[in-house]
Structure 1
Amino acid sequence: MNRQHLSPLMASDIAGKIVGTDAAVQQKGTPDWPLMERELSLSLEKHVKIRLTVDTPHGTSQLRGFVTVINTYLKEIKLREEDDWQWIRFEDIRSVQT
C-alpha cells in the first residue's frame, strides 16, 4: 500500500487525487496558499496564535487567535479569539501571520 503524508488541510479522494484547501484556493489563484496553509496547520497543531487578514462584506478585517478546527469538507477554519470564536471560509483568507 502506497501512503502519502498529507497536511491537515489536504485530503485525497478515492482516485488518490489531492483535494481540499489546495484545490479550493488555487481556483482563486492565491500563490501564497502553501505558506498560509503551513501557518494554519502550525496554529492548530502547536496552539500558536496567528493574525489573519480576511475579506468581509465591509472590506478587510484583522483577526487574532488560535485555529481550533480545520474543516476540509466545508472549506473553513474555526478561529478562537479571546472570548469568542468564528468560522472563516478558506476563500476569505488573504494572509496569515504568526
Structure 2
Amino acid sequence: MNKPYPSPSTASEPAWIASGPAAAVQDQENWPALERELSRSLEKHVKMTLTVDTPQGTSRLRGFVTVINTYLQEIKLREEDDWKWIRFEDIRSIQEA
C-alpha cells in the first residue's frame, strides 16, 4: 500500500534536514528530500558527498549527479576521473560537498 506524501504547503521538513546540511536516507518517507538534493546536483552542477553502502562496508563518494534513472532506481555519479552507478537503496546520506 502506498502512503501519500503530504503537500509541500502542509508538510514540515523532516528532522534530518532541519538538524543540519546532511540528508540521511532511512526509509521511503525521506525520498522526496533526497530527490530534491540529487536533482539540484544534476540541474545546477552542485558537487555532493554521498555516504553509500558497499559490499566492503560504508563508503563516501564525492561528485556530480549526471543521470537519475527512476525506472532502475539508480543515479550515475561522476567523480574526478571515473563514474559509478549507485542504487537509491544504497544511499545512506547526502550533503553538499
Q: Please indicate, yes or no, whether the TM-score normalized by the shorter chain is above 0.5.
A: yes
Alignment of 1:58-77 (within 5 A): 58-77=56-75
Aligned to 1:94: 92
Query: Which deviations, in whole Å up to 9, do the C-alpha atoms of 1:34-68 show, x marking residues without a partner?
Result: 22211100000000000000000111100000000
Gapped regions of structure 2 (runs ≥ 5)? 1-25
* Pairwise CA RMSD: 1.4
Count of aligned pairs:
71
1:50 to 38, 48, 60: 48
| Alpha-carbon distance, 1:30 to partner | 4.3
| % same residue | 77
2:34 to 33, 36, 46: 36
Gapped regions of structure 1 (runs ≥ 5)? 1-27
TM-score relative to the length of structure 2: 0.68
